[in-house]
Chains A and B, each alone.
Chain A
Amino acid sequence: MSTSPAVATRRLPGVEGVWVFVLADMCFFGVLFVSFMQERIKQGALFETARHTLNPDFGGINTLILLTSSWFVVLAVDAAKRDRLATIPKLLLAAMLCGIAFGISKAIEYGGKLAAGITPMSNDFYMFYFSLTGIHLLHVIGGCVMLTVFWLKARRGEFDSRNMKVLESGATYWHMVDLLWIFLFPLLYLLR
């Protein structure tokens, strides 16, 4: 008796193009991270002093928010795979609300810094802090718009196990936003 091994079909989630975007975008951030490290080496004392003015609690909470949001998106993709159509919009809405919570948290954090007279012009550390987190925040805002569109589409029943490419592409992007923050958080808030 012979059993033929199950052939696992492996495929790239989403459309291929989104991977081009994700890889290029991560390379851009990679260049910025290297630039940050170069300046950090040059101005170690200043960067260390300025780092202490950041509140790592904000960074930690934001990390949890984004990880939770990513988890909701994973569940939404899984629900689409299993054709649980009623669940998909709820999960996407939860993911989007997490994105908004991240934005609110960032606004509070920026507000505190500006109220204390700290701006991007204060020194090179704050230049990187505001620029890197600001560019990342733009990604989050873009992602929230995307999740809103997906939520509306899911409410119309446009995602299921046969129509997942767009949802998977968006999920890939959202995970990248999450991943970038996981690099940004220790780089800015924790690195001694």
Chain B
Amino acid sequence: MNPTQPNPVDYSMWKLMAWTGPIFFIGFFCMWGLLGSNFPPMAANTSAQDMWQHYKDLQTPIMIGMSVCMVLGSCYMTFGAAVSRVMRRIEGGEGMLANIEMTGATITYCPIVVACGIWLTIALQIDVLSPEMVQTLYYLGWMIVDLAYMVTSWQIIAAAIVFLRDKRAKPLVPAWVCWWGFVTVASFFPVSLIPFFKTGPFAFHGMFNFWIAFPTWYIWIVSMSVFIIKAVNRIEIEDGAASPSAVREQSGSLIGAR
């Protein structure tokens, strides 16, 4: 006969997973954006020869940036798991939206890792690749990472719906973050136009499809991360597992429980 196994909530692990959100967004900002020279990204209408030269000149930083991003991208999955657990506290154990959120976050990692892998390979193999092949692979990375947006949209929609249903006097995640999620999803749809344009706002480097769609998502990730970290602390207090002061102490001075 199996003895009954106690099943306590592992708040420390939960908090750790919540903190992988900031690791993801800070890491990507530095490694993909700054080191990988993607602020701004190389334009879609850049000639094949200039693309080849870009990768030749920046071979080492791009290789470092992309290989780190391939590892850091997994933090989006673990962050998604932390969000999903918070959602279950509102939705209940049988809730479907928490599953969609976690699956969406996990699958979002796939195009990220594949695209970064492609850009890494261009840099790695630059001396044996023709300019046309560099251009093709560069486009391939963008098509994959951009056009997978609907998976991320499902994740964001699921989270927004559940957190808007939170009946607490002070919801775990404020309504404006949820509505910003809907804004993010709305900003994703024009990304479908990137195969058709190499210039203008709808090119993958364009005003809308890069400078609006990505920062909008980024703001959602940052704000959701902050409130999920706070939410785990609040849930720990609600469960009576810790006093407010203990949680504040544990969380440090950066983000305290309210």
Contacts and interface: CB of A to CB of B under 8 A. Distances in A.
A124 B208 contact: no
Nearest to B174: A17
Interface string A137-180: 01000000000000000000000000000000000000000000
A135 B183 contact: no
Given A28-B212, A135-B189, A138-B189, A15 B175 contact: yes
Contacts of A28: 186-187, 208, 212
B179 A35 contact: no
Contacts of B182: 17, 21
Interface in B174-221: 175-176, 178-180, 182-183, 186-187, 189-190, 193, 196-197, 200-202, 207-208, 212, 216
B164 interface: yes
B183 A31 contact: no
B90 to A, nearest CB: 16
Contact of A127 (B178, B186, B202): B202
Interface residues of A, number: 21
Contacts of A124: 200
B200 A25 contact: no
Q: Classify the secondary structure of B's interface with A.
A: helix
A24 B178 CA distance: 13
Contacts of B207: 31, 35
A114 interface: no
- Chain B interface category by residue count: 20 to 34
B208 A31 contact: yes
B190 A17 contact: no
A17 B176 contact: yes
Contact of A32 (B164, B196, B197, B208): B208
A127 B164 CA distance: 37
A127 B186 CA distance: 19
Interface in A19-40: 20-21, 24-25, 28, 31-32, 35, 39
A15 B190 CA distance: 26
Contacts of A135: 189-190
Contacts of B175: 15-17
A35 B200 CA distance: 8
A24 B180 contact: yes
A181 to B, nearest CB: 16
A66 B196 CA distance: 29
A81 to B, nearest CB: 24
B178 A17 contact: yes
A39 B164 CA distance: 40
A15 B216 CA distance: 21
Nearest to A19: B179
Given A31-B201, A35-B201, A17 B196 contact: no
Interface of B: 164, 175-176, 178-180, 182-183, 186-187, 189-190, 193, 196-197, 200-202, 207-208, 212, 216
Q: Which 3 A-B pairs have the closest CB atoms?
A: A17-B179, A24-B183, A20-B179
18 contacts: A16-B175, A16-B176, A17-B164, A17-B182, A18-B179, A21-B183, A24-B183, A25-B183, A31-B201, A31-B207, A32-B201, A35-B200, A35-B201, A35-B207, A121-B196, A127-B200, A135-B190, A138-B189
